[in-house]
Amino acid sequence: MAHSTGHPRRVRAAVGAVALAAVAALLAACSSGSTASSAPSGSTTAGAPKAGVASGTLTGAMSSGAIDTMDPNRWYFAVTWGLANAMCTTLVRYADRPDAAGTQLTAGTASMPVISSNGLTYTYTLRPGAKFSDGKAITGQDIKYTFMRLMNPAIDTGTGYYFTNVIGAPAYLAGKSKTLPGIVATTNTVTFHLTAPDGAFLYKTALPTTCPVPNGTTMKPQESGTLETNYASGPYRLQSYEPSRQIVMVFNKNYDQALGVRGHVAKYVFNIGVQASQAALEIQAGQLDFQTSNLATADIIRLSHNASLASQVHQSPRPETTYLFLNNEVAPFNNIDVRKAVNYAINRTAIEEQWGGPLVGSVSSQIMVPGALGYARYSAYPVTPDLTMAKKLMQESGVKLPISTSLRTQNDAPGFMNMGQVIKANLATIGINVTVVGTPNSVNSSYISNPASHTPMGIEPWSLDFPDAEALINTGMDPATPNAPPNLTRFGDKAFIPQFDAAAAALGTHRAQLYQQLDKNLMYQVAPYAPIFNARWFDFVSTRVGGYVYSVAMDAINYNTLYVK
Amino acid sequence: MTRLAGTRVLGALVQILVVTLLAFLLFYVIARFTGASPAQRIAGKTATPEQIALVAKNLGLDQPYWKQYLIFLGNLLHGNLGFSYVQQRPVSQIVWPAMRATASLVLGAALIWLAIAIPVGAYGGLRPRSFGDVAGRTLAILGMSIPVFWLAPVIAYLLGYQPTQGKLFGLPILPVGTKLFPIGGYVDFGTDPVQWAYHLILPCITLAIGFAAVYIRFIRTLTAEQLGEDYTRTAKAKGASTQRVLVRHVGRNVTPSVTVLLGADIATALTGVFFVETVFAIPGIGYTGLSAIENLDYPVITAVIIVAAVIAVVANTVVDIAHMGLDPRIRHVPDA
Amino acid sequence: MTIDNRVELGAGQPAGSRPAGLRVTALRRLRRDPASVFAACLLLLLVLAALIGAPLAAKLTGHSPTEQVPNALYPDGQPIGVMSRTLNAAGTAEDPHGSLFILGADQLGRDQFVRVLYGARISLLVATSATALALVIGVSLGLLAGWRGGWVDAVVSRMTETAMAFPNVLLGVGLAVVIGPGLLNVVIIIALFTWYYPARIVRSATVSTTKMTFVAAARALGARPRRLLTVHLLPQVWGPLLVYATSIIAANILFEAGLSYLGVGVPPPTPSWGGMLSDAVTSGMYQTDIALALVPGLALVFTMLAFNLLGDGIRDALDPRRGR
C-alpha cells in the first residue's frame, strides 16, 4: 500500500498558476498616484472659541519612545515639552503665536521680571490667580523648591547645567551643598542672584523643566504622573497615564484664564506606540486627529500634492540644525585648512536631498538657525561644491594624502546613512577616504558624546532647548569645555572664549549682533564644523482640528490653541 | 514515569538559571565594550561627565558585574524583574501588561490557524489528490513563502485603510468612509471586550496565515499516515463511519504530535511577533523588547529575554511531560 | 519563521534502513517531479541572476545599484514607475532618450531592477554562508556529543536545548544593535541561531550508529573513528541534513531580510531585499507606488517558494516508503 503524501504534480502546478494570479491581483490592487480621498464631512467652521469654554475630544498618536519621563522637572524630549506647555505655566512663557512670533516671551505664573541694571538680579512677582490644579495658590517657596528640585543631583537630567551662574549653584549641582542661596523667595516673589550676567536667563526660566511643583515634593523621580494630575499649573492636567499605552489630558478648571486665554479642547487622548506612517493613514481615514512625530518625507510629498488634503498639512520652522561635526582634536580635522576644505567640498544640496529635498528643509552653511532670536541668513560656504578651493586648501594644509577616516551616524532613522554616503563621495574627491559607520541612535549618541571615543566626524541633528543662540553656540561648542558631552566638535580654541562670554552676557539687539558676528567669525576663521541644513516641521491633522499653531520653542504642537471644529 | 518527569523538570530549572546568566552577561558585557551607556542617555544632552558618573552611581551601574548579577538573581527569585531606569518604574509593570497583549494576539491567532488547518488538513489527508487537497496544499505552500513583515502592512493598508477611501483591493466598490477594520491600535480586554476583539481581527489573521500554512501540511501528512495504517482500515471494515474513524481514532493519535508542535510554536510566537505588533501598534512583548533595545533599557531587555526563554522552557517541559502521559511508547524509551 | 519539517526530522532515524542506491533513486525521482525541476530551475535562475545577471544589468542599463540617478524623481519626490525613462530637465515628462528603468526607481532614484538583482547576491551570500557556518558548528557538536557520549553528550545536549529556548529574532536584533552592522556580523548572528537542528540530527544519528554492535566491535578493535563515521554515519545523515539545509537557507534569507528590515542587517547603501522592503514600507511610499514594495516582496516570495518546493521534492525523493 503506497503511503504516499499525495501526488505532487497537481499541487505544484497549481502553485504556479496561483502565484501568477496573485501577482496580477496585486498589481490590479495598486493605486498609483494620489487617491482622491474624502475627508469625513461635517467640518463646518465654528467661530473663534470662547474663553474658558473647552469642548470636544482630540485623539493623537505618539511613538513609543516619545515619553522620556513623567516627572515634570525631568522632561527633556520634544513630545513631553509639548505636554509641559499644556500642563504647566512657568514663570514666564512663550506667546501662543505661530512661527517666530511664538518665540516671544510673555508673563506666565509671574509677570515679566525686573532686571537690575548690572544684569545680576532677576526679580519675578507672582501674579494673583496662579494656582495648582488642586486650587492652592502657587507661592514663591514653591518656585524656589522647583528650581532646587530640577538642579538636585538625585533627579537632575539635562537642564540643571543651565543655572550654574546662580549663586551657590555649582556646589549644589555637585551635591556638595544642600542650600541654594542664590534664589530668594517670599510668598509672592522670587529673586535670582547671578554670578555673571546672562542674556538668556529669561528663556531659561521658561524651560518646561521649571514646571512649578509644590514645596516639599519628593526629591526622587516621580514617574506615576501624580504631579501632573494634582498640581498642574497650566490649562490642562493629567487624567490618566498608562505607560506605553495611553495618556489622557483634560481641561483644568482651576486654571485662571486671566493668566492668558488658553485651552479650548475638553480632552486629549494620546495613543502610544503608533508608527508614523500608519498614523498618517489613520488621520486620513478619520480614525485619528494628529500625531506628535514629524511626518515621513514620503507622506509629506504625498499629502502636500493632494489638493483636497493640502489644507490639513502645516509647515513650520524649527530651531534645529543638522550638521557634520568635525573633531577639532583629531587628525585630520585638527587642521583649520582641512576643515575649511571640507566645507567647500561637500554638496549640501545633494546631502539634503537624501533627507527629502528643499520641501523639507533649507540648506545652511552657518551656525545659527531660523527660529532662534537674532537669526540672519548668510552663506559662509557655497551650497554646491567648489572643488578648486577645496583642493587648494588641502594643499595649503600640508596634510599628506590620501587620508582615511570614519564617519559615525545613526542608522535607525531614515536618511542619515544615505547622507553619509553622499559625504563619503564628496570627500573622496579631495583625497579623504571615509568609512561610514552606522549604529542605532541610542548607541551612537552615547558613543560620540564621550570625548574618549575620539570620533573624527559624524552627522548629528541638534535641537535648541530654547530659541536663543546661547542654546546652540554656548551649549554646543563652548571652547572653555571641549570635553563637555554636547561639544561634539571638541572645539577648544581659547582665543574665542571672550567672544562667547560677551555674547552670552549681552541683552537685546546687542546680543543678536554679537552672536551674528560670532557666527561669522567662527565660520570664516576656524570653520569648527560643516553645517548642512535646517529641517522644517510638518504636521498632518484631521479636518476636526482648528486653531493649529506649532510652538517653535517647544518643538511641538501647541495644545492650548487647538479647538474642535 | 515520575522519575523521567522529575528529571525533566530539574533539567528545566538548570536551563532557566543558565538563561538568566547568559542574558545578563550578554548585554551588560557587550554594551560595555561598545561604549553604549544608559547613564549617558538618562543624564541628558548637557550633562557633564561628572554628572553622568553621578547618575551611573545612583543607578548602581558602577558595581562589578558579578555583584549586579547576584542582586538581579536575588530579585528574580522574589518575582522582582528589576527596575527600568529609562522608564523609572518596575520592569514587571512593563512586561506583564505587554505579555497580556501578546498573549491575546497569539492565542487568537492560534484559534484561527487551527480552525483553518484542522479541517483543511484533515480533508486533504482523507481525500488525497482531490481538488480540495491540491488547493489546500497550494495555498499552504504560498502562505509559508510570504514574509510576515510584508504581509502585515499590506493587509493593514488593503483592509484597514483602503475601505475608508471607498476601495476594496483597489476596486471602488465601497461607500467612502467604510470602517471595515481599524488600521491599528489595541484596546484592553478589561476596558472593552468588543473593541478588544475588533482591533485584534486583522493582526490575528495576519499572524495566523503563516502558521496555518505549516499546520495544514503537517496535519495532512499525519492524517494521511494514520488513515493508511491497519487499524483505521480495520475500523472501517467493522463499519465505523468515516467521521467516527477520523475523530476517534485518527484524531487521538494525531493530537499528541500536534500538541507538541503547538506548544513549541506558541512559545516561539510569544516572542517573535514584533513585526505584526509594530505595524498594528499592539503594545506587546516583541514591541516592548524592540523599544527597550533601541533605548538601551537593559533591565527590560534582559527581562523580556528571560521571560521568553522561561516560557519556552516551561512550554516544552509541560508538553514533553504531557506527551509522555499521552503516548505510552515514550515512557519506556531510555534514550529520549 | 517556522520550519515545516523539523518535527519530521526528529531524533531516531533508524540505522541502516537505507539501501546504498538511494542517492541514485532519489535523483531519478527528483528529475521526474516537475515541481522540483521547476523549483531547481528557479533557484538556478536566481544564482545566475545574482552572479551574472546583476553586473550585466548594471552594464546594460548604465546604472549601478547604489547610484542615485538624477531626473529619476519627479519634482515632488515621486519616483518614476515601471518601464519608464528618466525625466527631461524640467521634470515634467519622460525624456524619450532618457535612461530606461525596467522596474522603476526607488525613492532615492536608484534602479530597482539592478538593486533587486544585487540584493539576490546579498541574500544568497548571507544565507548560504550562515547555513554553512551553522552546519559546521552543528555537525561538529553533534558528532562530538554522539561519539563521546557520557558527560560530553549531556553537556552538549543541554547546551543545545538551552540555546533553543532563547527567543531567536529578538536576541538576534539585540545582538546586532550592540555588535554593530556589517555583513560578517549578520552572518555570524544568523549562524548562531541556526546550528541547533543539525546538531540534534547528527547527534542522534551518531548515537544510534555507535550503538550498533559491529561498530562497537570495530571500535574496540581499534578502527579509526573517521572511517566508521564516513562509512556508516554519513549515509544516514546526509539526507535529512540536505532537506534541512534547504529549508534553513530559506529561513535564513528571511532572517536576514527581517534584520535588514529592522535596520540592523546589511547596512545601506548595499542593496538587500529586506532593506528595500523597509525603505518602501516604513516611509509609507508603498501606498502611492506599490512597485517599491512588490519588487523585493515578490523576489522574497518566489525564492522562498522555490526553496520550499525543492525541499519538499528532496524529502519525497528520499522517502524510503515510496515506489520507484
CA distance C269 to A385: 22
Q: A134-154 pLDDT, tens per residue?
A: 999 999 999 999 999 999 887
Alpha-carbon span C259 to C246, nearest angstrom: 20
Residue scoring higher pLDDT (A35 or C244) = C244
Q: Any chain C CB within 8 A of the CB of B215?
A: no
Residue A199 has pLDDT above 60, yes or no: yes
Which stretches of B35-147 are DSSP H helices? 38-43, 49-59, 65-77, 91-126, 131-145
Comparing CA positions, the residue from C311, C317, C290, C306 lying closest to residue C104 is C290
Q: CB-CB: which of C181, C312, C322 is closest to A411? A: C181
Give the C-alpha distances (Å, rounded to integers) separating A383 from A348, A519, A530, B145: 5, 18, 11, 47
Co-location of B46 and B152 in the same domain: no
Tens-place pLDDT, residues A102-126: 888 999 999 999 999 998 999 999 9
The pLDDT value recorded for residue C9 is 41
Q: Kindly identify which residue of chain A lies nearest to residue B36, measuring between CA atoms.
A: A443
Residue to substitute from B28, B145, B280, interface C, most C β-carbons within 10 A = B145
pLDDT over threshold 60, residue A44: no
Residue B110 covered by a domain: yes
pLDDT > 50? residue A24: no
- Best C287, C295, C303, C322 member to test A by mutation, with max A CBs in 10 Å, is C287
Residues B310, B244 within the same domain: yes
Question: In a 3-state reduction of DSSP, which class is residue A271?
Answer: strand
| Pairwise CB contact (< 8 Å): B144 & C304 | yes
Q: Structural domain tally of chain B?
A: 2
Task: Say what the pLDDT of residue B30 is.
Answer: 66
Which range is least confidently modeled, A556-565, B10-19, B322-331, C276-285?
B322-331
Task: Return the amino acid letter for B135.
Answer: A
- Closest B-chain CA to C306: B145
Per CB-CB distance under 8 Å, the chain C contacts of B272 are 1, 167-170
* Residue B99 located in a structural domain: yes
Instruction: Let me know if A291 is exposed, middle or buried by CB neighbors in 10 A (0-12, 13-18, 19+).
Output: buried
How far apart, in whole angstroms, are the C-alpha atoms of residue C225 and residue C148?
Answer: 11
pLDDT, tens digit, 9 for 90 and up, residues A501-512 = 999 888 888 999
Residue B83 lies in a domain: no
**What's residue A563's pLDDT?**
92
Chain B neighbours, 3+ Cβ pairs < 8 A: A, C
According to the model, what pLDDT value does residue A40 have? 34
Q: Determine whether the interchain pair B182/A287 forms a contact, defined as Cβ–Cβ distance below 8 Å.
A: yes
Least confident of A40-54, A97-111, B93-107: A40-54
- Averaged pLDDT, A414-422: 83
Q: Do C178 and B27 lie within an 8 Å CB cutoff?
A: yes
CB contact under 8 Å between A296 and C279, yes or no, is no
The whole-angstrom distance between C288's CA and the closest CA on chain A is 5
* Bridge-based pairing state of the strands A57-62 and A545-546: unpaired
B217 inside domain: yes
Distance CA B303, CA B80 (A): 10
Cell, residue A65: 519612545
Task: Kindly report each contact of residues C57-63 with a partner whose C-beta sits within 8 Å and lies 24 or more positions away, as own/partner.
Answer: C57/C113, C57/C114, C57/C117, C58/C114, C58/C118, C61/C99, C61/C100, C61/C101, C61/C102, C61/C111, C61/C113, C61/C114, C62/C99, C63/C99, C63/C101, C63/C110, C63/C111, C63/C114
Task: Report the b/e string of A180-200 with b at 16+ CB within 10 A.
Answer: bebbbbeebbbbbbbeebbbb
Which among C58, C179, C198 is positioned nearest to C121, based on CA atoms?
Answer: C58
CA distance B210 to B215: 9
A6 touches chain C (CB under 8 A): no
Residue A443's nearest CA partner among A457, A428, A453 is A453
B171: β partners: B168
Count the Cβ atoms, other than its own, within 10 Å of residue C79. Answer: 22
**Chain B, 298-317: which have a CB under 8 Å from a chain C CB?**
301, 304-305, 308-309, 312-313, 316
CA distance C182 to A163: 43
Contact between residue A489 and residue A477 where contact means Cβ atoms under 8 Å apart: yes
**Which chain C residues touch B305 with a CB distance below 8 Å?**
166-167, 170-171, 174
State whether B25 and B67 are in the same domain: yes
Question: CB of A351 within 8 A of CB of A422?
Answer: yes
What average pLDDT does this structure show over A58-84?
A: 85
Alpha-carbon distance of A213 to A231, in angstroms, equals: 7
Chain A residues 460-489 within an 8 A CB cutoff of chain B: 465, 475, 481, 483-486
Cα separations (Å) of C166 from A496, B270, C182, C204? 55, 12, 23, 22
Residue B90 lies in a domain: no
- B54 and B195 housed in the same domain: no
- Based on DSSP, count helices (H) and strands (E) in chain A, helices before strands: 16, 22
Chain C touched by A63 (CB under 8 Å): no
Are B282 and B136 in a shared domain?
yes
Nearest CA in chain B to A462: B45
Q: Which residue carries 546583476 as its cell?
A: C54
How much of chain C exceeds pLDDT 70, in percent? 85
pLDDT of res. B284: 87
Task: Using the predicted structure, report yes or no on whether residue A2 has a pLDDT greater than 70.
Answer: no
| Whether residues B72 and B167 fall in one domain | no
Name the burial class of residue A393, with classes exposed (0-12), middle (13-18) and buried (19+) by CB atoms within 10 angstroms of its CB.
Answer: buried
How far lies C310's CA from each of A102, B322, C38, in Å? 65, 35, 9
Nearest by CB to residue A271, choosing from B47, B135, B185, is B185
User: Nearest-CA residue of chain B relative to A67?
Assistant: B87
B132 touching A, CB under 8 A? Answer: no
Instruction: Kindly state whether residues B99 and B63 are assigned to the same domain.
Output: no
Q: Is residue A289 within 8 Å of A283, Cβ to Cβ?
A: yes
The verdict on A221 touching B (C-beta cutoff 8 Å) is yes
Kindly tell me if the per-residue pLDDT of C112 is higher than 50.
yes
Question: Mean pLDDT lowest for which of A267-276, A369-378, A396-405, B240-249?
Answer: B240-249
Distance CA B286, CA B311 (A): 14
Same domain, B39 and B151: no
* Grid coordinates given for B293: 533595545
- CATH number for region A320-536: 3.10.105.10
Spatial CB neighbours of A487, under 8 Å, sequence gap ≥ 6: A476, A477, A478, A481
Residue A244 CA: distances (Å) to CA of B217, B305, B316: 39, 19, 31
Stretch (H or E) spanning A532:
strand A529-540
What distance in Å separates residue B192's CA from the closest CA in chain C? Answer: 30
* CA A271 to the chain's CA centroid: 21
Backbone dihedral region for residue B172 (phi beyond 0: left; psi -120 to 50: alpha; all else: beta) = beta
Contacting B residues, span 67-96, partner chain A, CB-CB under 8 Å: 87-89, 93-94
**Is A228 part of the contact surface with chain B (CB cutoff 8 Å)?**
no
Percentage of residues of chain A with pLDDT beyond 90: 50
Query: Residue B271 and residue B261: Cα distance in Å, rounded?
Result: 16
Contacts of C297 in chain B (CB under 8 A): 147, 150
Interatomic CA distance for residues A231 and A249, integer angstroms:
13
Which of C68, C177, C269 has its CB closest to that of A443? C177
Q: Which range has highest mean pLDDT (A73-87, A127-141, B289-303)?
A: A127-141
What are the tens digits of pLDDT across the range B101-158? 898 999 899 999 999 998 888 888 888 778 888 888 888 888 888 888 888 888 888 8
The residue behind cell 576643515 is A339
User: Whole-angstrom Cα distance, residue C168 to residue C163?
Assistant: 9
DSSP 8-state secondary structure symbol assigned to residue A166: B
pLDDT band for position C214 (cuts 50, 70, 90)? low
Classified as helix, coil or strand, A6 is: coil
Which chain B residues contact residue A173 at CB under 8 A?
Answer: 51
Instruction: Identify the pLDDT of residue B275.
Output: 85
Closest to B38 in 3D by CA, of A411, A157, C260, C179: A157
Q: Which residues, numbered 17 to 46 in chain A, qualify as contacts with chain B under a Cβ-Cβ cut-off of 8 Å?
A: 18-19, 22, 25, 28-31, 35, 37-38, 40
SS3 A435: strand
Q: For residue B125, give its domain range.
A: 95-331
Say if residue B140 is in the same domain as residue B190.
yes
Distance CA B127, CA A6 (A): 9
B257 lies within 8 A of chain A by CB: no
Mutate one of A281, A284, A351, A418 to test the C interface: name it (highest C CB count within 10 A): A418
Chain B positions in Cβ-Cβ contact with residue A281 (cut-off 8 Å): 156-157, 160-161, 183
* Chain A residue with Cα closest to B136: A11
Q: Which residue of C has its CA nearest to A413?
A: C263
Neighbors of chain A by Cβ distance (3+ pairs < 8 Å): B, C
Tell me, yes or no, whether B50 and B182 share the same domain.
no
What local confidence, expressed as pLDDT, does residue A515 receive?
A: 93
B204: burial class by Cβ within 10 Å (0-12, 13-18, 19+)? buried
What string of H, E and C letters represents the secondary structure of chain C? Answer: CCCCCCCCCCCCCCCCCCCCCHHHHHHHHHHHCHHHHHHHHHHHHHHHHHHHHHHHHHHHHCCCCCCCCCCCECCCCCECCCCEECECCCCCCECCCCCEECCCECCCCCEHHHHHHHHHHHHHHHHHHHHHHHHHHHHHHHHHHHHHCHHHHHHHHHHHHHHHHCCHHHHHHHHHHHHCCCHHHHHHHHHHCCCHHHHHHHHHHHHHHHHCHHHHHHHHCCCCHHHHHHHHHHHHHHHHHHHHHHHHHHHHHHHHHHHHHCCCCCCCCCCCHHHHHHHHHHCCHHHCCCHHHHHHHHHHHHHHHHHHHHHHHHHHHHCCCCCC
Grid coordinates given for A330: 583629531
Q: B325 vs C160, which has greater pLDDT?
A: C160
**Are residues B130 and B49 part of one domain?**
no
Provide the CATH number for the domain around residue B298: 1.10.3720.10
Contact C301 B147 (CB under 8 A): yes
Question: For chain B, how big is the Rg over CA atoms in Å?
Answer: 25
Q: Where are the domains of chain A?
A: 320-536
Residue of B120, B138, B174 to mutate when probing chain A, most A C-beta within 10 A: B138
B207 and B306 assigned to the same domain: yes
Neighbours of chain C (3+ CB pairs under 8 A): A, B
Q: What is the ipTM of this complex?
A: 0.77
Whether the bond between A482 and the residue before it is cis, its omega within 30 degrees of 0, is: no
Question: Percent of chain A at pLDDT above 70?
Answer: 91
The pLDDT score that the predictor gives to residue A127 is: 94
Average pLDDT over chain B, rounded to whole? 79
Compare CB distances from B295 to A30, A442, A447 and report the shortest one's residue. Answer: A442
Residue C286 with chain B: CB contacts under 8 Å: 153-154, 157
CA distance A330 to chain B (A): 19
Residues of A in contact with B135 (CB under 8 A): 14
AA identity, residue A32 = S
- B222 domain residue, yes or no: yes
Distance CA C271, CA C114 (A): 9
- The residue with cell 529574532 is C169
* Contact pairs from chain A to chain B, CB under 8 Å: 204
